[in-house]
Structures are given as structure tokens and as C-alpha cells.
Structure 1
Amino acid sequence: MSFWIAWINVLVYLGVKNFASSRKVLTYAALILLLFLAPFVSGIKVLNQKTDAKQIDITLVQGNIPQDVKWDYKLLDYNFKVFDDLTKKVPEKVDLILWPETAAPCYLRAEPKYFSLIKSLSDSLQTPLVLGTNDYSVLGQGSYLYYNSAFYFDPYQNNFAVYNKIHLVPFSEWVPYPKILGWLYRIKFGLSDYTPGKDYVLFENPKGKFPALICFEAVFPDLVRKFVLKGADFLVNITNDGWWGKTAGPFQHAQINVFRAIENRISIARCANTGVSMFVDPYGRITQRTKIYVQDVLTGKIPLRNELTFYTRYGDWFAKGVSLLSVLILAYSLFRKVVGDR
């Protein structure tokens, strides 16, 4: 996309620069027209293709819990009650229920009361459920590692599955170069000290496999394609965008998912605490969405992946190739200048 935009701007600049030459202006105009027509024609062809892909029914539960309420331990009962009540309003049987990032704002593994509540809810509805929570592992002698995690409860299994967020937000979920910047922890502005996860976990639903990308992990194309290469049939993105406030942030963050869907030709179900929760089809079209800062329950169907795109298979080779070519051209220009100055 950026390559396409850059070239259109270059051609416009060349057209203006050579405005006195009608032949050159027409040439650049023709190239600009071609750059618009090529993706337009290709897009029409792709969007008109018929598919017989299998589908999965998913419910997104948007609790709209304010930040000051979410992290008040005394209000933990209220947090769970909101999501429990909304989930029980789901009118029909679905294949998967999603709660957002930190829907369980505690170490759920260490909270038997709330852990049992979630497990009982999943069992009673006979529906797998994904939610965000904190987690930890014991290193020994009172030492722990902490994670921003997603738990997958499956009524068909006795155990639950866990994914620990791999790509943490710097200066929010962790501090890079702690030996140099560790003093930042002494400043009380909400820093966490999470450990990045290492495993590319795919949760196994009876209808298909999927990762639970947490928050801004959906921003990173290479991270997402690795999950798809491991066999993901659809993508899930859970997030808490409540700290954005009523700004452009929640909408921009949500739109990033459109690019990941197109790159990998895969559907996405996105569940956000305060919105935007939405479904995105494999062609990047948002089929359903919620408003921000409202409680809502959204149920929809998304098709399962039935192909591997060129990008999924090979990644950012084009971007790397263009970058290398740019470096070579710059080096050659500098070399000619140095030789010419002699």
C-alpha cells in the first residue's frame, strides 16, 4: 500500500515538474491511471469470486467497564456480573463466545470463585469461551513471571488453554533496557512488568483453530502471519481500548485489523471492552460493528480460511527488496557524486 501511494506521489511530482512537456505529462498521467485501474479491476474480480467456505458463529460481549472500575479489586464481583449477565442474553447457540482483554481483571488462575464461575458458564451454555486475564508462572523461592494472557475454556475438555501475549507494549506493559531505564518503575504512572510469551498458541475449537491476539498485537503483520502459517482458520483479537477515551484512537486501532484480514485472506472477530467490537471478512470488509462506550452483544458468522496468500507464505520480501534497492541506488548516487567531485 505505501509503495503504491509513494509511486502515485512521485508520478504527480514528475508531472508537475515537467508540465511544459505535454508528452511527458500524458505519460505520467497514463501511469497514474494504470496504478488506479490495476487494483480496481483486480479487486472487482476477487470480490466477485464465490466461496463455499465453512462458517463459524461467534458472539462478542462488550462489557464497557470503565478503567477506574475495572482495576478496583472491591468491584471485581461487578466486573464479572456484567459479563455474565450479557453472555446469558445470547439468544441462540453459537460456536464461540469472546470476552475482551482483561475481562477478568485479576489472576484468574488464583481466584477459585471466579474461575469456577467462568467454567460453569461455559459448561452450562455448552459453548467455548475466550477471555483476557492476568496470569503468572512460579520460578521458585517467591519469584514469579507475570503475563497478559488469554484463557480458553472448552466445555468439551476438563482443562483450559492459555496464550501469553508475545508482543508487549513498551513503557506500558514492560520497560525495555531495564538496566538503563529501570528507574522508570519508581514513577507511578501505571507501568506493568509483564514477561513476553514465547509460544504461538492456537486454541482448538470444534469448528477451527485460532489465536487470541491481544490488544495491539494485531498491528504487526509478521506476527499475525506466523499464526496463520501454523494453521489458524480465523483470527481473534481481544482488546481493552478504554484508556483511549472518546478519541480517534479506538477507531484507528480497530481499522488495523482490516489490513491483517486482507494480507492473509482470513476472517477476524474483534472483541473490545469499550468498542469497537466487530467482524471482518477475508476481504477486509467490516460486516458488523458496535458503537464505542456502550454495553453490547454482537453475534455473527465469519467464513473459515480456505487459502494461503502470497504474503502469508513469503512475508515482507517485497518491502525488504525495495528497501535494499533504495539503499543500492543511494549508494550508487553517492559514489557517482564522490567520483564526479574528483
Structure 2
Amino acid sequence: MPAFVRRPLPQAVLAGLLLALAFPGGPGIWPLLAVALVPLIAVIRQESGRRAFLLGLATGLVHFLILLYWIVIVLGHYGGLPWYLAVPALVLLALYMALYVGGFAAGARLLLLALPAPAALWLLPALWVGLDWLRGWLFSGFPWMDPGYALAGMPAMIQTADLFGHHGLTYLLVLVNTLLALLLCEVRETGRKPLTLAGPVVAVLALAAVYSTVRWHQVERLMAGADRMTVGVVQGNIDQNLKWSPDNQEKTVNTYIAQTASLFAGGDGEGRPVLVVWPETALPFYPANSMFVEDLQRMNTRFDMALLTGAPWYEVIDAEEKDFDFYNSAMLLAPTGQLLDRYSKSHLVPFGEYVPLKPLFPFLAPLVEAVGDFSPGVIDKPMIWQRAKIGVLICFESIFPEIAAKWVQNGANVLVNLTNDAWYGKSSAPYHSLAMTILRSVETRRSTVRSANTGISGIIDPLGRPVLQSGLFVPWAAAGEVALLDGETPWMRGGRFFAPLCGLAAALAVAILAVRGRRQQME
């Protein structure tokens, strides 16, 4: 190996590249997840704490610049920002995300130096998972594509997510990386037999495989005996540049009605959907003010179906003062056209659906000017249609496990994700969004119906398998059966605390070792 490659910085950069290559939407070489962090973990032991942090920062920066490149598309093409502002915004976001990898590297170095290898082996994954959890919570959270999500395309490998969530998958991946790094370094330096370190890890992986196999068959039996409902999914493929144009509203509504009608072309057969789902803000107008609502009522009555669709909504606070609250909502309409229920998105996108500290960021106003600043809604009881109790995830709410968990705790037996991923263009982001939605199905053991304006739409079963799946930027409509499962998974009952407990354990260990090291230096 050339001397240059053996230097710390190239190894840190290599780790970032390997991570990025493993994720869906790009090369998607998921086996790289088992080795991607090995170069970083192997090199930080010989470095100071400061240099370890900087090396981790380099790994994270490379990884997130590649992973999040689509931010430039969102800000530039759709947000109207010039490239010389959009690119620095990407760099700043990637740098923020990379801080957590830097923190991991600094903490991991201390654990590796101060603890026996068998102890460090189990604490390094806990540290990574704890930092991932923190990133998903701090500043409203941005838990975009933690490593465990990259396994979403391999259903057989993600079944333990109903125990410890996607964080549990990440833990196992970092555990394997740590083991390999220690085998490269520890065995070479001390002569310790590989079985001492590898044996317990192999045992844990074997237990995970056995659990996954058993659980797979259990869930299949539950699905076979569950109530089922035929649901139609429509992907309008409406151009984002035309979506909010008043002149295009009639064409948009007619497009969705025509695609919905195609679901009923077979007559009164068994495959006839009783519920049809349209995407987030499929109605690009406020329903209370639009004449096109009558078209929806006629459609529902004609096909004897309920419609769940996204639409903006407003409530009057003070008419004289022109004070209104605006919402990004989902509406459930009965076959008669009656509004049965409405849910408004509770976790809004910062700088996408509202601008925090707007006086400090006036140049980001174009991102929300089409529909105005939204107010958050509240998660309450699921929407009910026939036997379905529906928990709605609007847009990037699907990347937050706790939102899906709250719906299920409130009684939901099916999840519906309405989204508009047209913002991302033909990038990797829609594949990322789908991967995270798949994990919500496995964690909660609920079917998920996903309707996206430009894709990727479909139906995901409680095992995380796509039953139906559309392409990107194509009009599409299909119907399929969803299993309506009840009950709570182990993850729901307590496994959700796995990630914060990992973070707490790792933070305590790092803090104790840091204090002990400081005292030894003073003595």
C-alpha cells in the first residue's frame, strides 16, 4: 500500500467515500457498510483528540456532501437561489452533520485508548447510535439516512428493527466495523486470538439472524389472518414549476381524476379500491375556496370510494386583521364528498415550510412563498374509513420514527405517507425517502401506503417489502391489498429507548475517562 494512502487524512476520506457508495440512490453497494468505517476507526488511535475529531469531521464532510448533494437542486432550481448561495448552504449543512462524526471519532479514540478492546468493541457502536439519535432530535432534528437505512432494500436483514428500530441495525453495522478495525490493529499488536473479540459478535449476529427468520414467519402468519383492504395509489407527476399556477389547477385536478378512474376500469371486480390516496398538496388550492371540490365529490360518488388527499388549509384567526393560520393538511373525503377528517402536518420542514428567525434569513423566503408559512398540526386519533385506522405521515414526517410510533400508539393499523418529492429532482433523495419509510413499516409492523407526486409511490407490507412500486417522474396509478395489523412491537413497548440509552452509556464512559485522564495529567 502506498505511503500516501496509509496517512490519516486519506484514510478518513476513504471512509467517507465508502459510506456514500453504500447508500441507495447511488451505487448502493450495501456490503460496504460492513467495512466503511474501518479506515477511520483504525487510524484514530494514533492521533490526538483534536486530530481524531478533525479526521472524523473529514469523513463526515465527504460522506454528507455526496449524500446531500440534492440540497443544491432544492435551493437552486426550486428555491430560486443562485448557485453561489446554494452550494455554500450544502457545505454548511454537510459540515453540521459531519460534526457528529467528528464527535464520534474523538470519543472513540478515548474509548479505544483507555479501555480493554472487548469493552471498547461494544461502546463504539453505542456512541455512534447515540450521536445519530441526537442529530435526529437537536434543532428539530434531521435524521437523514443513518447507516441502518441503507439496508432497507434487503428485507431479510432488517427484521430486528421491530426490536430496536433502525438504530439497532446501525448498532450492528458499527459493531462489525469496530470488530474488523480491532482485528486489524489489536491482534497485530498484542497477539490476542481473534476468537476473544469475534466470538461474542458472531453470536449476536447469529441471534439476530435467528430472530429475523422466526419473526418473518410470525408476521407472515399475522398478515394471512388479518383484515385486508384494497387501496388505490395515484402518482400525478405534476411539474413542480407549474404546480401552484392558478391556470394549471383544472388540468391538475383532471389529471388526478383520470388516473383514479383508471383504477376502476375493470368494473366491479374484487380488485376495486375502497380508498384512493393522492399525494401531498395534490390539490394546489384551498378547498374551501375552490369550485373544483365539486369535481372530487362527483368522482367519489361515481366510484363509491373514499379519497385521502393532501391539500393546503387555512383557519381564520382574525378576519379584520387578516390573520390566518395555514396548514399542510391531509383530508379524508367520504363517497358522498363529505369531509370525514383532516390532519395537519405536525413536524414542519425548517426553511421549507416555515422560515425560523425569518429576519435573519430573508433570502430563503422564496422556498415558502408559494403557499405561505405553515403552522404545525397535532397528532390525535387516526382517520377511520371502514376497517382502516389511518396514521398519516406528510412528507418528511416519515423520517421520524417517533411520529409513526405515536400514530400506532393512538390506534393506527395502517400508515399512509403523502409526499411531494418533486423538489428533489431526479436525484438520490426519493430513494432515501423510500428507504426510511420502509423502516417505519418494519418498526411498527404496519402496512404503509405511499403516494408521491413524482415518485416513488407504492405499498409496503409489514415486513418492509414493496408490494407495489412506481418509477420516478412518470404518471402512475395502481391498487393493491394492505394487511391491517394491530398490536405493538417490542420497539413500540420499549425498544425506542435503545438509542438514547446507548448515547447515555457512551457519554458517561467518555466523560469518566476524560476526567480520569485530566486528573492523571495534573498529578
Count of paired positions: 339
> Per the alignment, do residues 175 and 190 of structure 1 end up closer, same or farther by CA in structure 2, a change over 3 Å counting?
closer
Match of 1:87 in 2: 260
Could you tell me whether the CA contact under 8 Å between 2:353 and 2:367 is conserved in 1? Answer: no
Q: Does 1:310 align with 2:479?
A: no
TM-score (norm 1): 0.94
Q: 1:109 aligns to what?
A: 288
Secondary structure, counterpart of 1:172 in structure 2 = coil
SS of corresponding position for 2:262: coil
Percent of aligned pairs sharing the same letter: 29
In the other structure, the counterpart of 1:10 is 178
1:96 aligns with 2:275: yes
- CA 1:210–1:285: 2 relative to 1, 3 Å: same
CA contact (8 A) 1:8 1:35 kept: no
Contact 1:104/1:133 (<8 A) preserved: yes
Is the alpha carbon distance of 1:240 and 1:126 closer, same or farther for their aligned partners in structure 2, counting shifts above 3 Å? same
**Are 1:261 and 2:413 counterparts?**
no
Could you say which residue in structure 1 is the equivalent of 2:194? 25
Kept in 1, the 8 Å contact 2:379–2:407? The answer is no
Task: Report if aligned partners of 1:211, 1:236 keep a CA contact under 8 Å in 2.
Answer: yes
Counting only pairs closer than 5 Å after superposition, residues 120-135 of structure 1 correspond to structure 2 as 120-135=298-313
Alignment partner, residue 232 of structure 2: 59
How far is the alpha carbon of 1:283 from its aligned partner?
1.4
1:137 is displaced (CA, Å) by: 0.3
| Residues 110 and 156 of structure 1: CA distance in aligned 2, closer, same or farther (over 3 Å) | closer
Q: Deviations over 1:115-155 (max 9, x none)?
A: 11112211221111011111000001221011111111012
Which one of 395, 398, 421 corresponds to residue 215 of structure 1? 395
Report the counterpart of residue 315 of structure 2 in structure 1.
Answer: 137
The alpha-carbon distance between structure 1 residues 315 and 33, as it changes in their structure 2 partners (threshold 3 A), is closer
5+ residue gaps, structure 2: 1-168, 265-270
Instruction: For 1:90 and 1:171, locate their aligned partners in 2 and report how far apart those are by CA, in whole Å.
Output: 37
Partner amino acid for 2:243? K
CA displacement 1:260-311 (0-9 Å, x = unmatched): 1111111100011111111111111112101111111111111111321122
8 Å CA contact 1:18–1:24 kept in 2: the answer is no
| Larger displacement relative to structure 2 (284-293 or 157-166) | 157-166
Shift of 1:198: 2.3
207-216 or 144-153, which deviates more: 207-216
The counterpart of 1:146, out of the listed 303, 308, 326, is: 326
SS state of the match for residue 486, structure 2?
A: coil
- For the residue of structure 1 that corresponds to 2:209, the secondary structure is helix
Given that residues 94 and 127 in structure 1 are in contact (C-alpha distance below 8 angstroms), is that contact kept between their aligned partners in structure 2?
Answer: yes
1:144-178 Cα distance to aligned partner (Å, 9 max, x none): 01111111101268443211110111101001234
Letter in 2 for 1:15: L
Segments of 5+ residues of structure 1 without an aligned counterpart are: none
1:196 aligned to which of 359, 376, 393: 376
SS at match of 1:68: coil
Which position in structure 1 is the counterpart of 2:145?
none
What is the CA distance between 1:34 and its match in structure 2? 2.4
Tell me if structure 1 keeps the 8 A contact 2:227–2:484.
yes
Q: Aligned partners of 1:157 and 1:79: how far apart in 2? A: 19
2:172 aligned with 1:37: no
Q: Distance in 2 between matches of 1:29 and 1:130?
A: 51
Q: Distance in 2 between matches of 1:201 and 1:249?
A: 30
2:243 corresponds to 1:70: yes
Residues in 1 aligned to 2:197 and 2:274: alpha-carbon distance in whole angstroms: 52
AA aligned opposite 1:240: N
Partner of 2:514: 334
For normalisation by structure 2, the TM-score amounts to 0.62
CA contact (8 A) 2:300 2:337 kept: no
Distance, in Å, in 1 between the alignment partners of 2:454 and 2:242 is: 13
* Higher helix fraction (1 or 2): 2
Query: CA offsets, 1:158-209, max 9 Å, x none?
Result: 443211110111101001234x536346x53445411111243521110221
CA gap 1:71/1:159 in 2 versus in 1, 3 angstroms: closer
SS at match of 1:282: coil
* Equivalent residue letter for 1:107: Y
Q: Name the residue aligned to 2:479.
A: 299
Query: In proportion to residue count, which structure has more strand?
Result: 1
For 1:162 and 1:115, how far apart are their aligned partners in 2? 15
Please state how far the C-alpha of 1:226 moved relative to its aligned partner.
0.3
Name segments (4+ residues, structure 1) moved above 4 Å: none
Paired with 1:8 and 1:248, the residues of 2 have a C-alpha distance of 26
Inter-partner Cα distance in structure 2 for 1:201 and 1:114: 28
Distance in 1, Cα, partners of 2:196 & 2:361: 57
Q: Is the 8 A contact 2:447 2:482 kept in 1?
A: yes
Structure 2 CA distance for aligned equivalents of residues 336 and 37 of structure 1:
37
